[in-house]
A and B are shown apart, each in its own frame.
Chain A
Amino acid sequence: MMEKAKEKSEQNHKPKGTDEHVIVIKGLKKSFGEKHVLKDINLEVKRSENVVILGRSGTGKSVTIQCIVGLLKPDSGSLKVFGDEVADMSEKELKQLRIKIGFLFQSGALYDSMTIRENLEFPLTRILKIKEQAEIDKRVEAALDSVGLLDSIDKLPSDLSGGMRKRAGLARTIVVNPEIILYDEPTTGLDPITSREISELILSIQKKYNTTSIIITHDMECARLASDRVVVMDDGEYIAEGTFDSLHKSKNKIVAAFFKDIL
């Protein structure tokens, strides 16, 4: 108990430089029943860094980022965001944290009883509690414009294609200008041209707002464009880490498999 309190006070005095680690994960474990999904995850993400996670389907990439926002509780290990342990947070603290984190769901997870406009207004009015309609409209339109969906603003999610829904989900994530964005497969199911636009959008958000991001993807083009650093995950552990170009030369079989089509 004493140690913990001391640790906390030390962190509060630490100056917030650019080298500060926003997300620190140590020895994270998570199982569902008998199934050990995360075995030993260690990851540190610096402020305004884009980290790409590569890994085969079902290795626990989505589970990892769901632990970061407290949707899933890890079994053991430490997971700190902005220096505070997520598992120890009260409901209120967790809510405060979640306001700072944007989360793009793999499925988009649009509210299907609301139009696209209402989907984007929801976090603005309910969470940021913005009152002026002009301000709301401006932000909603800007976010939709950046994903190229301004025309569909008054449509229902069911009237959109899969790719459009994904982009609308992305617009809803960025409309609140979060400090951290967790992208779960932002370009899957999109055509190469839109994929590239989304990857460039991710990069430009990082540059413009200094956001810290974790990007889960299978799209190597997206990884190349948007990443400062790439980690490769297999069977609940991280097996390789480095810049895109350094991993490109890796001899590891699984890593090489991801990079084999890249010239």
Chain B
Amino acid sequence: MTWHRLLGMALRSLIRNRLRAALTTLGVVIGVGAVIVMVAIGEGAQRVIEQQIENLGTNLIVVTPGSTTVGGARQGAGSASRLTTEDAEFLQRETQLLAHVSPVIATFSQIVGGDGNWRAPISGVDVDYFEIRDWEIAEGRAFDASDLQGKRKVAILGSTVASQLFGDDSDPVGASVRIRNVPFEVIGVLAEKGQTADGGDQDDVVLAPYTTVQTRLSGRQFVAQILGSAYSAEEVGEAQEEVALLLRESRQLGSWEEDDFTVRNQTQIAEAAAGTTETMTVLLASIAGISLVVGGIGIMNIMLVSVTERTREIGLRMALGARGSDVLSQFLIESLVLSAAGGLLGLLLGAGSAFVLSLSTGWAVSLSVSTILVAMGFAAVVGVVFGFYPARRAASLDPIAALRFS
């Protein structure tokens, strides 16, 4: 029997049992739909991270407190391993291979100004910060050395903060804002940068000289990270080594002691971030995959019922000249059609849900051709694997007994 005949036959017998067929495919529809949505979200997040990291600035080097993970456990996150402004200043003085260095002191505060009141992260940074992050000033000016030395109460607003406090079109440069009741003069507004991978808003930030933040706002010596940039991409590796050596010196680590800080470049950050989302994607997709397998078991169940119900039909077909292989393909194609139809509907459902989700939550979603192919392929495999046993049972029936079956 030719395959299009078999397909026609399968479709006809499924149409004869419309409701049952529809309910059977539901499991696969949900399974494939779930896989598609999960992977779309995961890949979307990954794409954003990749873009983001490209946006971080070229030749970037990031120093964070605490040593790299050893044997899976993060080592020494205690107070002893905190980075300080002295470390940053030591690097600035001694480095040969870094073009720019800036500490980042992070705090969080209510900001009052214009007609508004807004809570935002405050970053205390050095003049080099803008070069390192490759971040332009949209209006006004960046910090200069005298701002830092004079610990001047000047601030540069991220675009989100600017519009929250002063409205969308107004120019806040020259205005005054109060951060923890300390008045700051707004000297600039940052160009828009967009979202981070986890949906955070990069433009929801206020920058101030780190010296000011340290004395006026946080009162602490500790810095969240030290950012630096090498002169060229080729020198990033060497620069990292130099940074590590200088920091060991600055922090007076003995030769037996491990680094209590971590120096990473852009690629390593990208890998770490991508690794996390990749793990997430795989995890989500496997949970979704389980529902697909459950859908497959549903197909197997219904196909077994169908084989029993149609025992006499099978006997008849054999009496009319059908071979075991003809019967096998008939039932296999039926379950394949069920799972493929379920896969297609699931694809539509999944793509639709991902789209709606991205509209309603603002999450980035991304649906690649390979995801679609893998999900559909998986659905087909489910159809064949779970359809095989019932089909085998049908094919191995004895025609005489099958014809007599009632």
Chain A complexes with chain B? no
